[in-house]
Amino acid sequence: MQLPRRRFLHLAAGAAALPVVARAARAQAYPSRPVRIVSPFAASGGNDIHARLFAQVLSERLGQSFVVENRVGGGGSIGTAEVVRAAPDGYTLLGMSVGIAINAAYADNLTYDFLRDVAPVASFYRAHFLMLVHPSLPVRTVPEFIAYAKAHPVNMGSNGMASTGQLAGEMFKMMTGINMQHVPYRGEGAALNDLVGAQLHVVFASMTSSTQLVRNGQLRALAVTGAARSPAMPDISAMAEFVPGYELASWAGMGAPRNTPPAIIDRLNKEINTGLERQDIIAKYADLGGSTFATLPAEFGKFLADDVAKWAKLIKFAGIKPA
């Protein structure tokens, strides 16, 4: 029996729409069981704080448990690789932070391609660093520091090789033409302790760990590493006021295995961005020295690509090689 042409076209259109309808239905049913968020850094660290905060937000909004599991090691690569290998069904997610982007630019033995194999879901948070000196150093501004560094040997402490602290300093060296001797420490706290003890000249550190030291008068902040001043410390100059184009920030967000259905990613993104509008989360992030950072998945993907490229440029400039 031959179908009338109009009836045939109607049925064909309906059949073509079935995959779209099925995908939408799966997204509406998601999640139907607990979801794992892999945090590839240690518990209680910055990455872990953000992952647990949004695990709670998503649990509340989607009515299913989102559970954070720490998979530590390899500069974040062990946990990231575990997510990359997971089924792309939305039930294994990755808590991400700037350390993963640095590792993608630095490590030469990764079993995955970060920008190819991790689908961007949503960003959470963004914060700049502070350029800090001991109050006894006879400088109060960035131009005065540059002049001092051109006339005197300067040592710069950081939270380790290829760390945010080192790379913030390397960017400063690259854009100002000064030299600073890098002294790596095992963690930001150790570097800050030696700066407080006047054993170092300068440290680039997170606002979370250093703001109170500035407010107590133990350290002097010369600049925040952004294009504009921070609402958390509006009296501190932005680095770009003296070094045009200088901007460097830490961030946190969420990813998923490549090929995770777009409908699931879009749903997670919508719920996370709604959570970022909550006043308690805005206040919490302000206390950490940063701010909420909401993007769509494609926007976050562009941000990640630009961030990896920036870190790679700084690593090449500094001549840092994987250990």
What pLDDT, in 10s, does the model give residues 225-271? 999 998 888 999 999 999 999 999 999 999 999 999 999 999 999 99
CATH code assigned to 128-241:
3.40.190.10
Question: pLDDT tens digit string along 81-112?
Answer: 999 999 999 999 999 999 999 999 989 889 99
Q: Give yes or no for residue 17 having a pLDDT over 70.
A: no
Do strands 118-133 and 92-97 pair parallel, antiparallel, or not at all (unpaired)?
unpaired
Domain boundaries, the chain: 33-127+249-318, 128-241
Cα angle for residues 68, 72, 74 (degrees, 5° grid): 140
Task: Determine the Cα–Cα distance for residues 307 and 314; give it in Å rounded to an integer.
Answer: 11
pLDDT confidence bin for 43, thresholds 50/70/90:
confident
Question: pLDDT tens digit string along 139-166?
Answer: 999 999 999 999 999 999 998 999 999 9
Do strands 181-184 and 155-158 pair parallel, antiparallel, or not at all (unpaired)?
parallel
Q: What percent of the chain has pLDDT over 70?
A: 91
CATH code assigned to 33-127+249-318:
3.40.190.150
Q: What pTM value is reported for the model?
A: 0.85
Q: Are both 33-127+249-318 and 128-241 of the same fold?
A: yes
Residue 88 CA to its chain's centroid (Å): 22
pLDDT of residue 1: 47
